[in-house]
Amino acid sequence: MAFTVVWFIGLCSLLLGYGVHVEASHLVSLHLQSQQNTTATHQPYRTGYHFQPAKNWINDPNGPMIYKGIYHLFYQYNPYGAVWGNIVWAHATSTDLVNWVHYEPAIKPSIESDINGCWSGSTTILSGNKPAVLYTGIDPQNRQVQNLASPKNLSDPYLREWIKSTQNPVMTPIDGINASSFRDPTTAWKGPDGQWRVIIGSKIDRLGKAILYRSKDFIHWVRAHHPLHSSKNTGMWECPDFFPVSVKSTVGLDTSVNGPSVKHVLKVSLDDTKHEYYTIGTYDLKKDKYVPDNGSIDNGSGLRYDYGKFYASKTFFDSSKNRRILWGWINESDSVQDDVNKGWSGIQAIPRNIWLDKTGKQLVQWPIEEIEMLHEKPIDWHSTELKAGSLLEVSGVTASQADVDVSFNLSTLEKAESMDPSWANPQLLCSEKGASVKGSLGPFGLLVLASKGLEEQTAIFFRVFKAEKSYAVLMCSDQSRSSLGQDLDKTTYGAFLDVDPLHEGLSLRSLIDHSIVESFGGKGKACFTARVYPEVAINDKAHLYVFNNGSENVKLSKLSAWSMKKAQISY
């Protein structure tokens, strides 16, 4: 459960008005909890093909799985308003991860151990293809405890009804566990001894930790003497995820798989920063300990799934296609009052296929292939020279709802700017060297959700620098001019991309959906999710451009773009 941060509207607006950055998170205004939704008729920011309910607040994706050929997604939901509160497990199913049918909430407060909220958790497929949910409940003392729920009718592929165990809670904060920092159980895995294992996010002071539990029957759980892993000065670990990846192929693995051809990934969502970080390492079965590889940093300067708006993520093993699928929550960048006015808050990112890069040093992500069935009206360009200062419009596509895939090639790197050793922070570097700051090799890339006069634009671009022994590729997502609106989070995101511009092109794919831009650089080696609210560049007033604001020419080797049909989502 991505825990709650309370902001009063007046204070938040005041801070934003004076230029103080407020990281958009769980924005709660308690006096709005009981208000009825006033869903606006003018909705330029609702998405066409991303997952979202008809109205109200959503956050963490919970318990994704496939059962009898049907995909299930549960998620944190407030049935009564567009702000956080009254949390239940909402439920939707799909046959393709694109088109969805919503049902009544699967799990809602009804027993003592969850009476104050049914928070995040995971689904595990037990023997006999029986799904089981572990979730965090809030009891009458506001303690965080872990509960178990199972389907009422296993013959129902839609699993519309769930029953809570009479043994609940199955895990409680005893033996010194902080009762306010004990949440978000992972998908369980089975060890060679036949026992199930699960981790719970927690902390002691600033020591973030993944508490390990074991069980023979999935009901009676015993806490291990030591955590699976911990790290100093990281704060609360929310929404941990622990899963194996193959070192030999892009095929996904069941959560219980281990062996010499397997690495493990530990992902944690840091409550302090509202960012997620992951490490790649080795899971020692005998010691029940996880050890990150050398160079895999397990703190706030490590690797991230996404360098933009992406939090509380959860993966699952899709046994039908032998792949691991990643879900992530995209929160808003506007004010609480804006959310109340439009009647909703929060969206889920496009599901992503995730695997280990061939270097073994990072993960790679790519939108699921099913999203391509929404493609229509294809546009293709080949071998176009982008001269210095050029701006080319991509016409013929619906620029507010599109999928764009481009590749750039650099004929020479001789005139690349020198990389200053002090430029260690890519996000800060992108802020200082935005899309309007001319360089040598870059900036070049896409201007999306742009107005005709370019007063509004969201820029996703590359810059190439000459480092001491190689070249450094900077990828940026610049939201500084994304909207004429004022009280918005317009943070610019950045990351260094692990590609060799001497021997490979620079690829960029962006999924554009009205108020969301999900971008994948280097064939999925770096990902950015931008949340933007243009006032001019909306619907048919949105434009799409390819640009080169550098002093050197760049070759656009290929551009493919499609308008995107609307996903079918039944409420």
Question: Known catalytic residues?
Answer: 60
Q: How far apart are CA 476 and CA 392, in angstroms?
A: 19
Contact of 464 with 410, CB cutoff 8 Å? yes
Please tell me the distance from the alpha carbon of residue 410 to that of residue 430, in angstroms, as a whole number: 20
Phi, psi of 107 (to 5 degrees): -135, 125
Query: What distance in Å separates the CA atoms of residue 119 and residue 327, rounded to the nearest whole number?
Result: 17
Let me know: does 121 contact 138? Beta carbons within 8 Å.
no
Going from the C-alpha of 391 to that of each of 92, 376, 379, 546, 561, the distances in angstroms are 42, 24, 17, 6, 17
Going through 35-187 in order, the beta strands assigned E by DSSP cover 56-67, 70-77, 88-94, 100-107, 118-126, 130-138, 144-151, 162-164, 182-183
Whole-angstrom distance, CA of residue 163 vs CA of residue 166: 9
The gap from C-alpha 88 to its chain's centroid, in whole angstroms, comes to 20
Please state, as a whole number, how many other Cβ atoms lie within 10 Å of the Cβ of residue 411.
10
Q: Are 24 and 9 in contact (CB under 8 A)?
A: no
Q: How far is C-alpha 282 from the chain's CA centre?
A: 24
Phi, psi of 114 (to 5 degrees): -145, 20
3-state SS assignment for residue 273 = coil
List the one residue out of 306, 245, 329, 307 whose CA is nearest residue 280: 245
Helix (H) or strand (E) holding 412: none
Amino acid at 363: L
Per DSSP, the chain holds a count of helices (H) and strands (E) of: 3, 40
* Placement of tokens 């109340």 in the chain: 340
C-alpha distances in angstroms, 3 versus 59, 83, 87?
A: 10, 13, 12
Q: Label residue 442 left, alpha or beta by phi (over 0 means left) and psi (-120 to 50 means alpha).
A: left
Strand pairing partners for 493? 477
The structure tokens 């892993």 sit at 229
**Is the Cβ–Cβ distance between 262 and 241 less than 8 Å?**
no
DSSP conformational letter for 96: S
